[in-house]
Chains A and B, each alone.
Chain A
Amino acid sequence: MTGVIWGLKNLARQPLRTGLSLIGIAVAAAMLLDMVMLSGGIDQSFSDLLLRRGFQMRLTPKGTLPFDTEATIGGVSEIVAALRRDPAVAAAGAVLGTSVYGRTPDSLVTLFGYGIEPEAQSLYEVTGGQDLTSGDSSGVVLSEAAARLLGASVGDTVTLVGRLDPQVVTAAVGRRLVVRGLVRWLYDYRGQPSVGTVLPLMQSLSRQAAADRASLILVKARDDRAVPQLADRLRQRFPQVEVNSVADLVAHFRERLVYFRQLSYILGSMSLIVAVLLIATLLTITVNERLGEIATLRAIGVSRATVVAQVLAEGTTLTLIGAVLGIALGLVTARYLDAILTSFPGLPAAFSFFVPRADTLAFAALVLLVTGALAGLYPAWLASRAPIAATLRAEAT
């Protein structure tokens, strides 16, 4: 019979009290887990998104981030050609983002147009039909939303127009294109109607004169480890553009969402404090209730260490069970909170604020366990210091 087993049995003594404490700890644990997920989820999700197709760098107009403004890079073909000749570069491709319009039977609908180089793109994944091929100047790929808006499916012909004069509702440029495939645009927000064509075609449709201009250039390095050096080299070689590695972009993004990271630290800390208070209060009260019992045990020769082990075992067991329940609850609440935050306008639909990973869950559980164990220290100390004679005297009266 050890203090640990005694401690575990004591938990079953007051089922309502134990049950409520477990609920309290579980809720605190859930909040802690959610905040741990939030603190790292933003970076992880964004990084995963950026690296989805393996392009580790983006070149953008000076002083801007990808698709942050309508600014464009000039002389793109020369820059891309130079990049492709670089031995450290595995692939490079330019992308133009612009507004275009699609003709429906009774109106014009606004679409977001991507001009891409199919042999080096990281913006979409094909979900139906086929991908564009290099030089295909009569094909277009659509998002699901665009397909619905245009009433088109794979194989249909759609009309895209550009350089619209809103006053007379006439377009300077129009092209009839065949829908090659349906795609999921990785950076689109939910329901965004987007279309994609080869770059020269989209440049011709663009509202502003976009000949040989692009919104960004994607670069894939041959060796992941060489990315920082390659980025530095490109910055020196192309001073007219902004060169960002994925790490740089994640850092920028983290800055923009610094509020959520800070909030996660604050709320996470508060959850820990709540859990500590709950466990410490529960154990302190139960120790006070059982002082007579503890004094008797000390009188018959049970050591302080055994008494301490009993109290710590109670606290640790409560924390362990609470942590397990809390992880389950935390995953549910994380989905709910994620659904709220991912409704930010303009946020890519593929993005997530709460990313459940094994190491995240383990970290949260470990922090809670250690904290729970520490919370039991004061009541354990109380129990070990119970004055035997005075307590027995008090019990006798």
Chain B
Amino acid sequence: MSSSLRITLLFAIAAAGPIEMLVAQRPGIAVDRRLAEHLSLRVGDTVRLGAAPDSLRILAVVTAVYEPRPDPAQLTKDERYVRLHLPDLAALLGAPDRVDRFGIGLVPGTPVSRAVTELERNAFGYRAYPSAAIASGSSQTFLVVSRFHRAIAVITIVASAVFLLCIMLLKVEERRMDAAVMRFVGVRRRTIFGALLLEAAVVAVMGSVVGTGLALVAGAATNAYYRHFFDTALTFSLITPGIVLFSVALSLLLGVAAGAVAAWRLVHTRPMVLWGRG
């Protein structure tokens, strides 16, 4: 809907109180719930409408209050909406019989591209767009946000990997004396390596479980917070089984890899050096 068909707070309340007898020429309007709350409007109230603040010419009656469909594109815009019957709005704007666009529903099975081609051929001066193209175009903002989130995720993963490797090295090195004694008594390198790797894997699994739990809690908190903040029913954080699977797999991989690096380094250090005498 173009901006010329959006009316953003361009009217003032003319009257409230008892429901007036509807006059035949007063158009009925539907008001979005947030606007109704903001202006304390109820069904039956009369309002003035206009296309400019200095020309509130038309009296209209609130016939419905509706819940706006959650739309991410409207999230940060402090806009409120009313709906009018098309002829009423056209008359209000002084542009009868003009619209910005048509919405077209095709008979099931009709290829969209064929319909687009035919429309453009037959309706001179018009452009036809598949809804999917419009959706794609209007979701560019969110694609940018997604890319940003992905970049942050990559940086976080890199930081976590470094952190993990560092901690693993430290923790494994703490056991250098134990490793030295084991080597002295004849325990094979691969046994020590396997034990350390198993430990790393167990820690990684436990960490993944805890992390998944934390993510679910954080996601729920994020959704609760932003739904309240933006007064919307949109979902902001969505944790799917696929995301959980990917995250767990990645953390397991990183944890085991870090453990493997640390363990490899330990078992390939001479026992006397581990003992502190080398």
Contact = CB atoms under 8 A, between A and B. Distances in A.
A/B touching: CB–CB < 8 A: yes
B67 interface: no
Interface stretch (B26-34, B84-92, B162-170, B182-190): B162-170
A23 interface: yes
B148 interface: yes
Interface in A255-305: 255-259, 267, 271, 274, 277-278, 281-282, 285, 288-289
Contacts of A208: 4
A20 B166 contact: yes
Given A71-B52, A285-B174, A344 B126 contact: no
Interface string A293-328: 000000000000000000000000000000000000
Interface stretch (B151-159, B196-204, B245-253): B151-159
B174 A288 contact: yes
B173 interface: yes
Nearest to A284: B170
B12 to A, nearest CB: 11
B3 interface: yes
Nearest to A164: B125
Interface in A326-345: 333, 336-337, 340-341, 343-345
B163 A74 contact: no
Contact of A27 (B54, B77, B125, B162): B162
A258 B78 CA distance: 13
A17 B169 contact: yes
B141 A340 contact: no
B53 A340 contact: no
Interface stretch (A57-65, A138-146, A360-368): A57-65
B6 interface: yes
Interface string A139-173: 00000000000000000000000000111110000
B9 interface: yes
A214 B9 CA distance: 19
Contacts of B155: 27, 30-31, 333
Contacts of B167: 278, 281
A168 B125 CA distance: 6
A278 B125 contact: no
Given A16-B169, A341-B148, A24 B163 contact: yes
A26 to B, nearest CB: 9
B227 interface: no
A74 B166 contact: no
B124 to A, nearest CB: 6
Q: Give the one of B9, B159, B169, B226 with max A CB within 10 A.
A: B159
A223 interface: no
B147 interface: yes
A258 B230 CA distance: 11
A21 B159 CA distance: 11
Contacts of B170: 17, 281-282, 285
A271 B162 CA distance: 13
B170 to A, nearest CB: 5
Given A16-B169, A278-B166, A337 B10 contact: no
B9 A63 contact: yes
Interface in B48-81: 52-54, 76-78
B171 A69 contact: no
Given A21-B166, A74-B52, A341-B144, A64 B8 contact: yes
B171 A336 contact: no
B140 interface: yes
Contacts of A70: 2-4
Interface string A164-188: 0111110000000000000000000
Nearest to B94: A209
Nearest to A263: B152
Nearest to B125: A167
12 contacts: A17-B169, A17-B170, A24-B166, A28-B159, A63-B10, A68-B77, A69-B3, A71-B52, A256-B77, A278-B163, A288-B174, A340-B148
Interface of A: 16-17, 20-21, 23-24, 27-28, 30-31, 61-64, 68-71, 74, 165-169, 208, 240, 255-259, 267, 271, 274, 277-278, 281-282, 285, 288-289, 333, 336-337, 340-341, 343-345
Interface of B: 2-4, 6, 8-10, 52-54, 76-78, 124-126, 140-141, 144, 147-148, 151-152, 155-156, 158-159, 162-163, 165-167, 169-171, 173-174, 226, 229
Given A17-B169, A255-B78, A285-B173, 10 more contacts: A23-B162, A70-B2, A71-B52, A74-B54, A167-B125, A240-B54, A256-B76, A274-B159, A282-B166, A340-B147
